[in-house]
Amino acid sequence: MLTERELQRYDRQIMLYGFGEEGQEKLKRARVFIAGAGGLGSPISIYLAAAGIGTIRIADHDKVELSNLNRQVLHWEENIGDCKADSAVEKLGKFNPNIKIEAIAETITDASVSKLVGDSDLIVDAMDNLPTRYLLNKTAIDKKIPFFHGAVYGFEGRAMTVIPGKSACLNCVYHGAAAPSEKFPVIGVTPAVIGCIQAAEVIKYITGLGELLTDRLLNFDALKMKFNEFRVKRDPDCEHCGKL
């Protein structure tokens, strides 16, 4: 049941065809796990908080550094040295005090990931490395919850939605390939675009609206100002989802 204040706050999206109060109530009941409170995690969490997601659990073990501020818009100069998860919760809590926001200042590891994700309805990928992405992809498949992939590098970004057992997963696409885990170049607008695409996918999934970005890898190149879409398929021999 939505309060008068919620009806007012979310009025413009409740107006959307097919959305209505029912859609808003679905968002209110939703529990979302965001892995990372950096470049991608900032727009994802801001727009999911704005949309009225009932519970946002955001995990990041890093502290805010000056060099983060070109893209990680959740964190400000005054937060340098603070834990990113705490900084995120502080901002998001002020932005929308009517939702529950949980900070997890822990490293996502093989041993901890299942507990950290807990009973969340879905996982949003806002990580900065490939190994943890595979871990989250596998965890989502094991828990049979969706995984919303996003990644950025320079002026380029990529997004894909994974519905376990129904659509290609991250491992189907990359086949366990490794990429160097090193400092990467990035301009803030790239994670802003990709993070908003991921947030849109989450909202669509929860409300049941539209077509999801499944079996399609969306590639954004800001230098060309172009989106390319690549068709991807489930790999029956995939080590992550092949047995589903």
Partner 1 sequence: MSVEIELSSIFGRFTDNKLTFQVEGRTVGECLKELFKQYPKLEKLLLNKEGRLQHAYDVYVNGESAYPKEMTKKVKDGDKLNLVFIIYGG
Could you count the other beta carbons within 10 Å of the beta carbon of residue 240?
22
Kindly state whether residue 84 participates in binding partner 1, applying the rule CB under 8 A. no
Instruction: Report DSSP state, residue 221.
Output: E
Q: Shortest CA distance to 190 belongs to which of 39, 38, 60, 68? A: 39
Residue nearer to partner 1 on the CB measure, 7 or 179: 179
Reported as half-sphere exposure (CB side, CA atoms, 13 A), residue 226 has a value of: 4
How many Å apart are CA 78 and CA 113, to the nearest integer? Answer: 30
Distance CA 169, CA 232 (A): 9
Interface residue with partner 1 among 53, 173, 192, 213 (CB under 8 A) is 173
29, 179, 210, 243: which one contacts partner 1 (CB under 8 A)? 179
Q: Is 36 in the site for partner 1 (CB under 8 A)?
A: yes
Of residues 110 through 139, those in contact with partner 1 by CB under 8 A are 125-130, 133
Q: Interface with partner 1 includes 225 (CB under 8 A)?
A: no
- How far, in Å, CA of 161 to CA of 125, rounded? 10
Q: Which of 82, 156, 200, 214 binds partner 1 (CB under 8 A)?
A: 156
- State the residues that interact with partner 1 by CB under 8 A: 36, 38-41, 125-130, 133, 150-158, 173-175, 177-181, 184, 186, 191, 219, 221, 223-224, 228-233
